[in-house]
């Protein structure tokens, strides 16, 4: 059960923003968020009343929410010993029932947070928690965020118990009964974590699992500097957004859009409440997507994503075997990402993205078809036609920019 709008939002910052909820909700609407997380909260009458007020404000702005209700939190594994069995508490079902009584019918409530990054020892208990949530409420999604396929802290194998990450994702879906995948990945801004190559490997692995299991996947990307991760540039914010779309992500969240002081720097909104350059870039990319792409993109399922002229390990290099057959340049040279999709009417679509955050280029892609339609500021308009069976799409692409087309065959 996906949210009613394409989910664009943020990970829980850990801050109790309830005293400033009116300001925050107005800001979510301004930046283009459609999905938000509450702060962590307990079951006191005062906290429940505050969260219901927050949901009312969100509903007025057509924003849905993931409730971080302490009563629905599942078992969490210790990072130092991820294989330690962590069972579900015996009173979990009763706590979930109470949370559902408080919030289960509110129109702005979309999901109940269960756990972040389940490990080997707590995954069975997390699976039980998901089943209990589903039994208690047919309309609130048990929300879980997964690990990326990372390469430090001993590697991902000891954390998930699988050497084959794709097999782990299939196992996760079977154990939890989940109907989607969501994961966070910040290695694109930290070479210690594998850099951009590891970022694309994760996109490829989650895309493949989504296709195999016929479920959507979401990604949480980075919007501030912290730990070993550097702050994204304005162009890199667009790059993260468009690379996720080119791989077929059906949800994009940010870590963190409000932060500063003791944790992180350069967030879209800092600890003083001041909006920085990333805020306005995010607002721009969200506004464009919602106006011109969202309605169609939500109907798309990825079939193939390729890199030209070279591909990171674990991803696909462009070979002309899909709808896109040939890549050429009118001026300039750049790395190109080509996403291929079909919509709910089985019509092919192609996204062409400039996979470089600094250089522009004029890119042309020959696609198998007789007519092409561009989706953009003028709606869906015919842009190319050919009797040869190959129609060319593309044009001038600024750094990190993308174009979306429907191909008629």
Taking domain 8-300, whether its CATH number is 3.40.50.20 is answered by: no
242-272 per-position pLDDT tens digit:
999 999 999 999 999 998 777 889 999 998 9
Query: What does the pLDDT look like over 276-287, one tens digit per residue?
Result: 999 999 999 999
Report the pLDDT value the prediction gives residue 332, as an integer from 0 to 100: 82
- pLDDT at position 1: 81
d(CA 160, CA 105): 35
Residues 6 or more apart whose Cβ sits within 8 Å of residue 111: 65, 66, 67, 140, 141, 142, 143
Residue extents of the structural domains in the chain: 8-300, 302-408
Is residue 190 within 8 A of residue 228, CB to CB? The reply is yes
Tracing tokens 């190109």 back to the chain, one arrives at 336
Q: In 3D, which of 106, 13, 108, 111 has the Cα closest to residue 69?
A: 111
From edge to edge, which strands make up the β-sheet containing 361-368? 324-331, 361-368, 390-397
Q: What is the pLDDT of residues 325-348, one digit of tens each?
A: 999 998 888 999 999 999 999 999
Residue 328 — φ and ψ, nearest 5°? Answer: -145, 165
pLDDT score for 194? 87
Dihedral sign for Cα atoms in the order 365, 368, 372, 376: negative
Q: For the whole model, what pTM was predicted?
A: 0.97
Residue 192 pLDDT = 82
DSSP 185-253: --GGG-GGGTHHHHHHHHHHHHHHHHHHHT--EEEEEE-SBBTTBPPPPHHHHHHHHHHHHHTT-S-EE
**Tokens 């429940």 sit on residue:** 48
Average pLDDT of the residues of the chain: 96
Over residues 191-240, the pLDDT tens digits come to: 888 899 999 999 999 999 999 999 999 999 999 999 889 999 999 999 99
CATH 1.10.3470 describes domain 302-408: no
Could you give phi then psi for residue 24, rounded to 5 degrees? -65, -45
Q: Is residue 155 scored above 90 in pLDDT?
A: no
Mean pLDDT of 59-75: 98
pLDDT (average), residues 375-384: 96
Residue 294 buriedness (CB in 10 A; 0-12 / 13-18 / 19+): middle
């Amino acid at each position: 059960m996906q949210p009613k709008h394409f989910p664009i939002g943020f990970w829980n910052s850990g801050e109790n923003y309830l005293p400033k909820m009116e300001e925050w909700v107005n800001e979510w609407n301004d930046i283009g968020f459609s999905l938000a997380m509450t702060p962590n909260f307990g079951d006191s009458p005062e906290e429940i009343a505050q969260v219901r007020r927050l949901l009312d404000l969100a509903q007025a702005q057509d924003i849905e929410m993931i409730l971080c209700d302490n009563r629905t939190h599942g078992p969490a594994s210790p990072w130092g010993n991820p294989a330690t069995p962590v069972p579900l508490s015996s009173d979990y079902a009763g706590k979930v029932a109470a949370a559902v009584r408080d919030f289960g019918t509110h129109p702005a409530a979309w999901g109940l947070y269960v756990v972040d990054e389940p490990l080997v020892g707590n995954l069975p208990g997390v699976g039980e928690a998901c089943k209990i949530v589903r039994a208690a409420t047919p309309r609130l999604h048990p929300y879980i965020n997964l690990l990326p396929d990372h390469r430090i802290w001993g590697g991902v194998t000891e954390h998930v118990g699988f050497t084959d990450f794709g097999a782990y994702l299939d196992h996760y879906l079977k154990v939890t009964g989940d109907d989607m995948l969501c994961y966070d990945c910040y290695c694109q801004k930290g070479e210690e974590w594998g850099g951009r190559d590891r970022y694309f490997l994760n996109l490829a692995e989650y895309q493949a699992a989504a296709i195999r299991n016929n479920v959507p996947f979401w990604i949480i990307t980075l919007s501030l500097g912290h730990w070993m991760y550097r702050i994204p540039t304005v162009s890199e914010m667009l790059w993260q957004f468009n690379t996720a779309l080119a791989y077929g992500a059906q949800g994009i969240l940010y870590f963190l859009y409000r932060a500063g002081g003791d944790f992180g720097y350069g967030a879209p909104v800092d600890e003083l409440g001041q909006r920085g350059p990333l805020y306005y870039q995010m607002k721009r990319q969200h506004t464009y997507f919602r106006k011109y792409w969202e309605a169609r993109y939500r109907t798309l399922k990825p079939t193939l994503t390729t890199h030209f002229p070279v591909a990171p390990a674990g991803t696909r290099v462009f070979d002309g075997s899909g709808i896109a057959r040939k890549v050429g340049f009118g001026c300039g040279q750049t790395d190109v990402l080509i996403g291929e999709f079909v919509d709910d009417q089985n019509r092919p679509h192609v996204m062409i993205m400039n996979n470089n955050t600094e250089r522009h280029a004029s890119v042309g892609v020959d696609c198998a078809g007789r007519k092409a339609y561009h989706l953009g500021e003028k709606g869906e308009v015919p842009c190319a036609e050919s009797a040869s069976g190959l129609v060319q799409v593309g044009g001038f692409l600024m750094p990190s920019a993308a174009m979306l087309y429907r191909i008629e065959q």
